[in-house]
Amino acid sequence: VTEGPLVGRHVVISAGGTREPLDPVRYLGNRSSGKQGYALAASAARRGARVTLVSSASLPVPGGVELVPIETALDLQREMNARAGDADVIVMAAAVADFRPAEVGATKIKKKFGAGDPEAPTVELVRNPDILAGLVEARGEARRPYIVGFAAETGDADGDVLHHASAKLERKKCDLLVANEVGAGVTFGQDSSTVHLLRPGREPVTVGPADKNVISDTVWDAVQEELL
Ligand code: C5P
């Protein structure tokens, strides 16, 4: 695509869940499908951007998009940080595991340990870095890259979700926060969702329920308004 509002821009998007290994065959994961991040990548590519998608999801890669495969939060952090300097826009749509197993078994964890051992192992977890916070901090006072965060909120009323999301926008200090309501059967793995776009000093904009492609187009419309 040689024409469009994002021609000449490099956008780097993370999508899907991370997988934190316990041993060579098992991992801790989450329900993120990657669909929203992939839809954002496809939409940006249609608008002429050079798109890098950093993801563990196994969805078809949209045409013209470069995929950087990752597994863990630490992989994702390394790949995002390596590309931040060249990015005009960063979108952290990935559901990053907040914790990972402290130790990764070199061999498969067995059901039986031996006489006197406990019935079941205990998995110790350690904190993963907040990748989004690191990207915002590394940018410092610069206005580039424009940084978009996502917030998956569980709430029973929209008011709740908005309340949590605006607090999160202040904490995360990103330029745009896309907040969506999640829960079993809501958003994760679905083709549509309802989101709120929050920007500092602006009224929130609600989109949906709408197809994730429609939501993606609204997100890029909002981002384009702010690009220098
Ligand atoms: O605080 P919370 O996890 O809800 O924030 C969500 C946002 O932060 C998303 O954009 C997600 O990609 C990002 N995030 C991150 N590193 C983490 C956890 C979340 O970059 N360890």
Residue-wise pLDDT for 63-101, tens only, equals 999 999 999 999 999 999 999 999 999 999 999 999 999
Q: Is 16 in the pocket of ligand 1 (CB under 6 A)?
A: no
User: With helix as H, strand as E and coil as C, how does 120-170 read?
Assistant: CCCCCEEECCCHHHHHHHHHCCCCCCEEEEEEEECCCCHHHHHHHHHHHHH
Please give the pLDDT value at position 111.
80
Instruction: Please state, rounded to an integer, the average pLDDT across all residues of the chain.
Output: 93
Q: How much is the average pLDDT of 145-155?
A: 91
Q: Is 180 in the pocket of ligand 1 (CB under 6 A)?
A: no
Is 212 one of the annotated binding-site residues? no
- The yes-or-no verdict on residue 184 having pLDDT over 60 is no
pTM of the model: 0.94
Q: How much is the average pLDDT of 160-168?
A: 91
- With bands split at pLDDT 50, 70 and 90, how would you rate the model's confidence at 46? very high
Look-up: residue for tokens 């041993």?
23
Q: Is 94 in the pocket of ligand 1 (CB under 6 A)?
A: yes
Please give the pLDDT value at position 156.
64
Per-residue DSSP letter, 98: S
Q: Are 69 and 42 in contact (CB under 8 A)?
A: no
Q: How far away, in angstroms, is 45 Cα from ligand 1 center?
A: 24
Q: How much is the average pLDDT of 154-163?
A: 74
Q: Is 92 in the pocket of ligand 1 (CB under 6 A)?
A: yes
- The yes-or-no verdict on residue 16 having pLDDT over 60 is yes
- The yes-or-no verdict on residue 189 having pLDDT over 80 is no
Out of 20, 75, 89, 150, mutate this one to test ligand 1's pocket (max ligand atoms within 8 Å of CB): namely 150
If one compares 193 and 104, the residue with the highest pLDDT of the two is 104
- The yes-or-no verdict on residue 192 having pLDDT over 90 is no
210: helix, strand or coil: strand
Is 172 one of the annotated binding-site residues? yes
| Helical ranges in the chain per DSSP H | 35-46, 73-84, 131-139, 158-172, 212-226
Q: How much is the average pLDDT of 104-122?
A: 83
Q: How much is the average pLDDT of 156-172?
A: 85
Please give the pLDDT value at position 159.
64
Give the number of the atom of ligand 1 that is nearest the alpha carbon of residue 134. Answer: 20
Give the number of the atom of ligand 1 that is nearest the alpha carbon of residue 174. Answer: 10
Is 168 one of the annotated binding-site residues? yes
Q: Is 27 in the pocket of ligand 1 (CB under 6 A)?
A: no
Which residue's C-alpha comes closest to atom 19 of ligand 1?
A: 96
Please give the pLDDT value at position 186.
63
- The yes-or-no verdict on residue 201 having pLDDT over 90 is yes
- The yes-or-no verdict on residue 180 having pLDDT over 70 is yes
Please give the pLDDT value at position 157.
61
Q: By percentage, how much of the chain surpasses pLDDT 90?
A: 79
Q: How much is the average pLDDT of 9-19?
A: 98
Is 112 one of the annotated binding-site residues? no
| Dihedral sign, Cα of residue 13, residue 85, residue 70, residue 135 | negative
- The yes-or-no verdict on residue 113 having pLDDT over 80 is no
Q: How much is the average pLDDT of 4-27?
A: 97
